[in-house]
Amino acid sequence: MSLKQRVLMAGLLAGALIAPVVAAATGGDPQRVTVLSASDAAAVVAAFAGGSARAADLAVRGPVDGAVNRFYQVQGAGISSNIDAHSGDVLSLVLPVTSATLASAPATAPSAKATAEQFLVGRSISTDGLTESLRLIGHGESSEYVVEWDRVVNGVVVPDLRVVGVDATTGQSFRYLYLHRAYAEPGKPAVNQAAAEALAVKLVGGSGVLVEDSQLRISFTASGSQLLVWTVSLTATVDVTPEGTLVPGHWDVEVDAATGAASITTAG
């Protein structure tokens, strides 16, 4: 039984009624039906965070809707977390740097990997079938080993992801991300990569637009229907200053892999 299930079971045994509460607007997505209460959300996060975290010290906001799920935001005592209001999964956690963590030993790549794996094992979080990767990233005054597990099926990135960030100086896990949603095995896209990129370039327009990256992944509509989409990252020079400095622009374009409908999701 997972930690989350134990906490929920404890609540049920104590007589707390966790009745399914259908929020006013689920968009018809059954995965967005709110099951978890706010107080249970705080209890789950406190237990998940461990240490001295207490549910009474945590404030709960929401639930709010994201791209693939509905979640509570649980915050306080230096902790921040998001927890799925339907499944009860802890979707993210950031732990504060404390005197205890500062006293820890610096990480190496193997020790960071072991620390991250222990973080998941200690919380009964499975990585079965996922592909693990590790990279060291500088963050200015600190650096981080990012240990990531993801899954690609038939060339499609599916919603199954774990990320644990280990501070390279303290050797401690300080951030965690979890994404999992049931999906149907993706088929072949009607719009291939070249066609998707051409549509994205056309949408941004202008000359000199370059494709930086393309990724095929699963997405969901507000009603919960599964989609296959291309995310195409583009760059181009948008301006030149009098000194000759080229001002770069970046765009992410989503192209529906079934219909070819394209839209700019972010610029930068």
Write the DSSP assignment of 175-204 as a string of letters.
EEEEEE---PPP---SS-HHHHHHHHHHHH
Q: How far is the CB of 114 from another protein (least distance, A)?
A: 22
Nearer Cβ to another protein, position 9 or 52? 52
Preceding amide of 186 cis, omega within 30: no
Element (H, E) at 167: strand 160-167
Q: How far is the CB of 136 from another protein (least distance, A)?
A: 12
Nearer Cβ to another protein, position 6 or 139? 139
Pairing of strands 156-157, 160-167: unpaired
Pairing of strands 152-153, 246-256: unpaired
Q: How far is the CB of 13 from another protein (least distance, A)?
A: 30
Nearer Cβ to another protein, position 9 or 221? 221
Nearer Cβ to another protein, position 3 or 227? 227
Whether residue 49 contacts residue 57, with contact meaning beta carbons closer than 8 Å, is answered with: no
> Which residues in this chain contact another protein in the complex, by CB under 8 A?
64, 66-68, 71, 73, 75-76, 78, 80, 82, 91-94, 96-97, 137-142, 146, 159, 161, 163, 174-177, 179, 203-206, 219, 233, 238-252, 264-268
Nearer Cβ to another protein, position 106 or 206? 206
Q: How far is the CB of 166 from another protein (least distance, A)?
A: 13
Q: How far is the CB of 238 from another protein (least distance, A)?
A: 6
Q: How far apart are CA 158 and CA 217, in angstroms?
A: 6
Give the CA-trace dihedral at 173, 174, 175, 176, to 10 degrees. Answer: 30
